[in-house]
Amino acid sequence: MSSNWSSCPFCFQQVLSVDLQRHANDHFEDEPAQHIPVMQSEMYQTTIDDKFRCLVRSQVKDPRFKVKSELINLLNNCLEGDIGISILSGYVDHFASLAFEDVGWGCGWRNIQMLTSHLLYQTQEERNVLFGGCRFVPDIPSLQKWLEIAWDKGFDTPGSNHFDHKIYKKRAWIGTTECAALFRSFGLRARIVDFVSASTSDGKRRVTGPMDRYMKRSDADAGPSNGEKCTQTFNGHQVLVNWVWSYFCDNNRVDKSGPKQVVVTQKSPLYFQHDGHSRTIVGIQLKKLPNGTQQHNLLILDPAHTTEVLESCLRKKVGWQRYIKRGVHTLKKTEYQLCFMDPGIATGAEMEKLKTLDSIRVEF
């Protein structure tokens, strides 16, 4: 006769029913005063704090998190030999979708991993709060559990309802809202910007806020935070590219008339979403063409590319452009979304406000 098995309500591991009581109590071995009664006939409701503590212990590190990756250094070397001015976000690990794991649906999670690798490297503040202070990039199943905890805490209730409050073990596409809700649940100030074609726009402008400051509006308006003024009116998808340039220029003086240069900033990468796929923007390049016009190239890490091939091309300085550079002419979708991180950790009333997602809507 086969044995009876039960699922642990903390780590979801399958254990023998007769051992479930002992297994559940083991999760609280550092808190001996607690005793968790387990009934074999029914599952009891655990608290959010219980789930949080358990996930901190049971989450799994993605084996590709390198801690000291050379990727951005290699990209820096390639850009130094290129014509133009480039601005980079700094340290980022590349996470590729795997053939038998998440190809076709996991790009959003891979971009969250890329952003996480940057945030863990950048400041002590983020390291202390992200994923219970584990100091590594969790794998996709662990990230799915963290998103469920964010929903349990009240972050992005409409998004939670869309997924019926469950995402763990689902091969479901996610986007900027799930990214923002996950990071906001740790107190990070994740912001969303919508870029929408005027032909598809409903004419409604959502709330303005911190994400508004990277917009170039007209000659009369203030330009980016580095003091530049917009001297030209741009149309179409160039609006998105201008926003990205202003974002990476923020607090970094860039001389457009100077020689070729690469500026490495402390700005976080951008989660870059459009219909059917998402990628990570790690920087932007500006070139002056012979006819006097200017050309921008987004510098992108794509989860659809193989990390080993990408690193090899960067190391050899051959063929890397087709993997990383994306000009304005490649932006053909009618809608795009960006998610970025403002510095610092929210607490108190601000943390409560972060539970409701907002954005600025920009037409092009």
Q: Which of 133, 111, 141 is nearest to 187 (CA)?
A: 133
Range of the domain at 355: 71-108+187-363
What's residue 42's pLDDT?
40
Residue 6, SS3?
Answer: strand
Asked if residue 161 is part of any domain, the answer here is no
Asked if residue 194 is part of any domain, the answer here is yes
Count of structural domains within the chain: 2
Cβ contacts of 138 within 8 Å, gap of 6 or more = 59, 60, 61, 62, 113, 116, 131, 146
Give the bridge partners for 335, in sequence order: 196
- Contact assessment for residue 166 and residue 159, using Cβ atoms and an 8 Å cutoff: no
Asked if residue 180 is part of any domain, the answer here is no
* One domain for residues 23 and 101: no
CA separation for the pair 357, 131 (Å, rounded): 20
Asked if residue 209 is part of any domain, the answer here is yes
Cβ contacts of 92 within 8 Å, gap of 6 or more = 69, 71, 72, 114, 117, 118, 269, 280, 282, 301
Q: Which of 254, 337, 242 is nearest to 298 (CA)?
A: 242
- Contact assessment for residue 245 and residue 296, using Cβ atoms and an 8 Å cutoff: yes
Asked if residue 117 is part of any domain, the answer here is no
Q: Per-residue pLDDT tens for 274-293?
A: 999 999 999 999 998 888 88
- Contact assessment for residue 49 and residue 15, using Cβ atoms and an 8 Å cutoff: no
Asked if residue 170 is part of any domain, the answer here is no
Residue 213, SS3?
Answer: helix
What's residue 328's pLDDT?
93
- The 10 Å CB-count burial string (b at 16+, else e) for 328-347 is beebeeeebbbbbbeeebbe
| Long-range Cβ contacts of 169-175 (<8 Å, 24+ apart) | 169/141, 169/144, 170/144, 171/102, 171/104, 171/105, 171/106, 172/105, 173/105, 173/108, 174/108, 174/109, 174/147, 175/108, 175/273, 175/278, 175/337
| Long-range Cβ contacts of 320-323 (<8 Å, 24+ apart) | 320/75, 320/78
Asked if residue 173 is part of any domain, the answer here is no
What's residue 211's pLDDT?
44
What's residue 232's pLDDT?
33
Asked if residue 293 is part of any domain, the answer here is yes
* One domain for residues 42 and 77: no
Q: Per-residue pLDDT tens for 204-238?
A: 434 334 444 554 433 323 233 332 222 233 468 99
* pLDDT lower than 50: segments of the chain: 1-2, 28-45, 203-212, 215-234
The number of beta carbons lying within 10 Å of the beta carbon of residue 157 is 14
What's residue 305's pLDDT?
96
pTM value?
0.81
What's residue 202's pLDDT?
55
* One domain for residues 36 and 77: no
